Amino acid sequence: MTVYERKSALGGKARSMDVPGSARGGRRPLPGEHGFRFIPGFYHNLPDTLRRIPFPGNANGCHDNLVPSTEVMLARIGREDIRIPFGSIGTPPPVLTPDAFLRVLTAFFETFSHLPAHEIAHFAGRLLVWFTSCERRRTEVWERVPWFDFTRAARMSANYRQLLAIGITRNIVATKAEVASTKTVSTCVEAFLFNALGRGADGEPDRVLNAPTNEAWINPWLAHLTSLGVEFRTGWEVADLTLDDGRITEAVLRDASGARRTVTADHFVSAMPVEHARRTWNARVRAADPRLARCDRLETDWMTGIQFYLTEPTPVIHGHINHIDSPWSITAVSQAQYWSGRNFRADYGDGTVADCLSVDVSEWDRPGILYGKTARQCTREEVAREVWAQMKAGLNDTGRTVLSDAKLHSWFLDPAVELDGTRASNDEQLLIHPTGTWYHRPEARTAIPNLYLAGDYVAVDIDLATMEGANASARAAVNALLDEEGSAAERCAITPLYRAPEFEALKRQDEIRHRLGLRNVFDLG
């Protein structure tokens, strides 16, 4: 097997990368990244892969490099921040009846908001509608309804809209609540809630790696695959696919020098982000499988990382921070606290850096607080200053200084982003999920017998652009290839999201109601 990668480095958007010119005194360069890693406990397929990657001293391979967070913070501007602790996985989960489910949800939301009681009850009721909706209603109805409308946010308080409608979609799914698919958002919320309840979980609700991603995962993975005979060629970009007699006969590529090359093979797996994959599908390929043309309707947006390097340890909290009031929808995590096998000052940079605050920016089209410009209108330096100012506005506003300018050493913005104050481009975007997106997502097996798709845009159970979705789609692609070959080899296991057995009877009843054109029994209008 030969893997062709258009970038000069392997690992895609998950990789970590060296900050150029940052190493001194025999230390490694400061670690940068496209965005921080976040591996919730409801993932199963990616953790299974991590267990299969050998890592020295780890009984469970790279999976043992996952460490749990113990809390999450909603950083508010001008009011007290909200900290939510996580319980331990392994405690007996409660039995879920509709009444017990509503009580669990109400208690959960009361721990982190000052929403009116009737709004909390309303939101819990809307989630109960989702949890008891049959799969046909989810796909045929809720996929077409924006999350903002499903939650009836327009009727509710500004706090409700900010916390439960806008914050969930923009900061986590990177899609505006007014257009985000209810199916996608609710699938994500459902998975998180069951994870928090210890249902069907692989681990804690919030897990990160105990070292930079390349050290904890990507480099051991590449070494393992190489030992199995996989060959990697970087700097090779696919330009076209040649179709003859109903099959792909060759891929046309440009190698690292820019020279045009052709590659023949029995099977071709396209494992690229959708915005790059669809450029390789010419008219003949699209005619052979019309579903590929529907991928042109899939939308991407910017959700991009910037790292701030600090001269003092600055953990803030032991978990992720959601700056829910920030104009640019910022989320962040302090990483050094998790890297127990690393001494940041001794191992990275120039010896003065003690921590890395890794930040994701999800909103690039709203004005900021410093310059009154959107992120796309800023220079790289202005983006860094603006993000820093928005984080300080959320963390330094209640009487203590969490982030200090004096402790800021430097910053690193994802090099895939190009900004000069007038033009903006991003070579590594994120699939977003406005209503109707599900209908345009292709299957891993195409109508072309020897062409398979893998990526976070391929239709899988999780219905969200994630590493878990990409992993599940790759497993489906491998299974389709083995089926095409008539191979007797064991197929890849694909683990779906957890579904509570207590709700299955209600879902069956809802299937009947849906076929009769009736609302869900809990959808009271």
Do residues 307 and 397 both lie within one domain?
yes
Whether residue 490 lies inside any domain: the answer is no
- Residues 394 and 76: beta-carbon distance below 8 Å: yes
Whether residue 85 lies inside any domain: the answer is no
Final residue of a structural domain among 403, 426, 449:
426
DSSP string, 151-204: TTGGGS-HHHIIIIIIHHIIIII-S-TTTBBHHHHHHHHHHHHHHHTTSS-SS-
Structural domains counted in the chain: 3
Whether residue 378 lies inside any domain: the answer is yes
Distance of CA 245 to the CA centre of its chain: 38
Q: What is the mean pLDDT of the chain?
A: 92
Q: Is 489 helix (H, G, I), strand (E, B) or coil?
A: coil
What dihedral do alpha carbons 118, 124, 129, 133 form, nearest 10°? 180
Closest to 226 in 3D by CA, of 27, 403, 1, 474: 1
In tens, the pLDDT along 423-447 reads 999 999 999 999 999 999 999 999 9
- Residues 307 and 33: beta-carbon distance below 8 Å: yes
> Which of 61-65, 201-205, 318-322 has the highest average model confidence (pLDDT)?
61-65
Asked if the model's pLDDT at residue 61 lies above 90, the reply is yes
Residues paired with 252 in a beta bridge: 240, 262
Do residues 416 and 457 both lie within one domain?
no
The per-residue pLDDT for 91 is: 45
Element containing residue 109 per DSSP (H, E): helix 98-110
Side chain identity at 254, as an amino acid letter?
A: R
In tens, the pLDDT along 295-323 reads 999 999 999 999 999 999 999 999 999 99
Average pLDDT for 484-492: 97
Do residues 138 and 153 both lie within one domain?
yes
The per-residue pLDDT for 85 is: 79
Q: Is 296 helix (H, G, I), strand (E, B) or coil?
A: helix
Average pLDDT for 140-157: 96
Of 145-149, 175-179, 233-237, 448-452, the one with minimum mean pLDDT is 175-179
Do residues 190 and 324 both lie within one domain?
no
Q: What are phi and psi of 491, to 5 degrees?
A: -80, 155
| N- to C-terminal Cα separation, the chain | 55
Confidence class of residue 80 from pLDDT cuts 50, 70 and 90?
A: confident
- Residues 40 and 192: beta-carbon distance below 8 Å: yes
Do residues 210 and 344 both lie within one domain?
yes
Q: Is 308 helix (H, G, I), strand (E, B) or coil?
A: strand
The per-residue pLDDT for 90 is: 45
The per-residue pLDDT for 103 is: 62
In tens, the pLDDT along 275-285 reads 999 999 999 99
Do residues 422 and 509 both lie within one domain?
no
In tens, the pLDDT along 240-274 reads 999 999 999 999 999 999 999 999 999 999 999 99
The per-residue pLDDT for 339 is: 97
Average pLDDT for 339-354: 97
Closest to 416 in 3D by CA, of 319, 309, 305: 305
Do residues 148 and 114 both lie within one domain?
yes
Q: Is 100 helix (H, G, I), strand (E, B) or coil?
A: helix
Asked if the model's pLDDT at residue 375 lies above 60, the reply is yes
CATH classification at residue 276: 3.50.50.60
Do residues 290 and 317 both lie within one domain?
no
CA distance 162 to 326: 11
Q: Looking at beta carbons, which pairs linking 150-158 to residues 24 or more positions away fall under 8 Å? A: 150/126, 150/182, 150/186, 151/123, 151/126, 151/177, 152/122, 152/126, 153/177, 156/119, 156/122, 157/115, 157/116, 157/119
Question: Computed from CA positions of residues 276, 277, 278, 281, in that sequence, does the dihedral angle turn out positive or negative?
Answer: positive
Encoded tokens for 446: 């195409």
| Rg of the chain, C-alpha, whole Å | 23
CA distance 367 to 268: 44
Whether residue 79 lies inside any domain: the answer is no
Whether residue 381 lies inside any domain: the answer is yes
pTM equals 0.92
Residues paired with 68 in a beta bridge: 207
Do residues 296 and 307 both lie within one domain?
no
Q: Which residue carries 């790289």 as its tokens? A: 380
Domain around 169: 96-200+500-515
Do residues 166 and 240 both lie within one domain?
no
CATH classification at residue 397: 3.90.660
The per-residue pLDDT for 79 is: 77
Average pLDDT for 398-426: 93
Encoded tokens for 162: 């900010």
Q: Which residue carries 């849906």 as its tokens? A: 514
Query: Which DSSP category does 215 fall into?
Result: I
Asked if the model's pLDDT at residue 170 lies above 90, the reply is no
- Residues 255 and 236: beta-carbon distance below 8 Å: yes
CA distance 267 to 54: 28
Whether residue 220 lies inside any domain: the answer is no
CA distance 462 to 332: 23
Asked if the model's pLDDT at residue 162 lies above 90, the reply is no
